[in-house]
């Protein structure tokens, strides 16, 4: 830590932003690393495009959480998208990112973005059934509420209802290296609610615990979605409000994210063993 840039406390959480010697600016929410400037793109790009590149012509997208704006920046690359709702409960997070991380909060500059300062569960419950093609839940806290979000059947059910048939959910999930790897439970839980397909993926993010992050990709009953083979390619010349093409995501790394080490595959897909 070289220099503290911001310390703030809202009614929901505490945010600390500091300049580091090795990772650029770092944001800490309630004591957990939320992101660092040097590797945020890996998580933001994968969480977004694993969903949006898996279906043809996504038009309406809901982001729950993700107040930093990085996921909005990534959604912005998709020219088929007509409407983006973001539901973030904590205005302090939005304001701080706009001030201290302009290359991430740039996502808010997309005119398709509509900001709702509200509780994500209440908001998701309030929209008509079948509203969205894609819902991205960006409520990541290492070791923390990931499992809770994906174990909250009420929330998952309202997500599934808010999606159109064959619509998709993308959400962070446990690292495959976590000792209390709960992905089997998460998958079992998601399978109760998402009747299309339920998949686990992962990628490298060095500042997260164990150096990797997991993702759950689920679809509702309807036109089938094969997440492992992206059908909606990004156009590297259309980047929306993002400055330049993706740094991490490409169709090969998309497919690779679903290839699992055997000790994980055994848990995720026990029938194969």
Active site residues per annotation:
138
66-80 CB burial, b ≥16 within 10 A, e <16 = bbbbbbbbbbbbbee
- Shortest Å, Cβ 229 to its own copies: 13
Q: Which is nearest to 232 in space by CA: 251, 208, 213?
A: 251
Residue ranges that bind its own copies, judged by CB under 8 A: 22, 39, 42, 176-177, 179, 202, 204-206, 210-212, 245-250, 252-253, 255-257, 259-263, 265
- Shortest Å, Cβ 193 to its own copies: 27
CA distances from 258 to 70, 102, 227 (A): 23, 32, 8
Q: Which is nearest to 163 in space by CA: 187, 193, 208?
A: 193
Given 3-state DSSP classes, what are the helix, strand and coil percentages for the chain, each rounded to the nearest 5?
35, 25, 40
- Shortest Å, Cβ 207 to its own copies: 9
Closer of 243 and 262 to its own copies (Cβ): 262
């Amino acid at each position: 830590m070289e220099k503290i840039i911001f310390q703030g406390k809202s009614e929901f959480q505490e945010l600390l932003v500091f300049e580091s010697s090795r990772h650029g600016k770092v944001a800490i929410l309630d004591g957990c690393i939320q992101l660092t400037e040097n590797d945020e793109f890996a998580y933001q790009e994968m969480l977004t495009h694993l969903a949006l590149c898996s279906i043809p012509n996504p038009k309406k997208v809901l982001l729950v959480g993700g107040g930093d704006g990085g996921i909005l920046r990534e959604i912005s690359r998709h020219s088929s998208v007509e409407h983006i709702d973001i539901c973030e409960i904590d205005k302090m997070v939005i304001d701080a990112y706009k001030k201290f991380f302009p290359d991430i909060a740039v996502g808010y500059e997309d005119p398709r973005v509509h900001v709702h300062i509200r509780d994500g569960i209440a908001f998701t419950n309030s929209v008509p059934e079948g509203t969205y093609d894609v819902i991205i839940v960006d409520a990541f806290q290492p070791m923390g509420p990931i499992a809770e979000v994906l174990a909250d059947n009420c929330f998952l059910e309202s997500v599934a209802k808010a999606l159109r048939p064959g619509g998709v959910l993308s959400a962070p999930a446990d690292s495959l290296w976590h000792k209390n790897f709960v992905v089997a439970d998460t998958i079992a839980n998601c399978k109760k609610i998402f009747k299309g397909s339920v998949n686990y993926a992962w990628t490298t993010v060095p500042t997260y615990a164990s150096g990797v992050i997991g993702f759950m990709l689920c679809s509702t009953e309807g036109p089938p979605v094969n997440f492992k083979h992206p059908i909606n390619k990004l156009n590297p010349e259309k980047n929306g409000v993002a400055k330049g093409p993706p740094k991490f995501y490409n169709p090969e790394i998309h497919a690779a994210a679903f290839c699992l080490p055997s000790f994980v595959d055994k848990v995720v897909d026990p029938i194969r063993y």
